Structure 1
Amino acid sequence: MKLNLNIVENKTEYYQLATQYFKNINSDQYENINFDRIIPKSISILIDHDFIPTPCIEIKLELLENQKKTANYFLYLNENKEFIDEFLY
């Protein structure tokens, strides 16, 4: 798998994509999570993982309320920026 070598150059696009996916989650999944801000946190390339197909790109967003972390959202994409999986906790 040839991962995008320009992730650094396109990091804004990756964070926007993760934010878009997060906003499309059924609100029932995060109704108990209070947040007033979404912070782009990190972009990683996963080489080996127990339950996520690898290699892939992991994008992490942090949800804050009153400047305190309330949850994390992880989006996993393949090299073509296609959805693999997502986690909210």
Structure 2
Amino acid sequence: MHLLERAFHNKKEFYNLALEYFHNINSEEYQDIEFDNIVSKSISILIDHNFITTPCIEIKLELSKDEKKTGNYFLYVNENKEFIDEFLIV
């Protein structure tokens, strides 16, 4: 199955994987972020990127408080759902 097909057919699994990784990061990294909701925002296929040098799947979660965006969490995995990188932006 191609990378795009895999992401499309397994999007719920990819979002759950991103949530799992987010909750497993060091809480000190996000202790100052006020959020009461995590929204599954997008799944993208990266082919050419400045920082991520291998084709992969980018899963984006949006953190919000009182319906206002407070940050984004990005998880990058390969087609076998193996960790490549992650970013938390506030």
TM range (shorter): over 0.9
Q: Deviations over 1:19-59 (max 9, x none)?
A: 00000010000111110000000000001011112210000
Residue correspondences, number: 88
Which position in structure 1 is the counterpart of 2:25?
A: 25
2:53 & 2:79 partners in 1: Cα distance?
Answer: 12
Give the alignment's TM-score, normalised by structure 1.
Answer: 0.93
For the aligned residue pairs, the C-alpha RMSD in angstroms reads 1.1
Aligned-partner SS, 1:6: helix
Q: List 4+ stretches of structure 1 deviating above 4 A.
A: none
Which position in structure 2 is the counterpart of 1:5?
A: 5
Identity of aligned residues (%): 66
1:49 & 1:7 partners in 2: Cα distance?
Answer: 18
Bigger helix fraction: 2
1:11 & 1:79 partners in 2: Cα distance?
Answer: 12
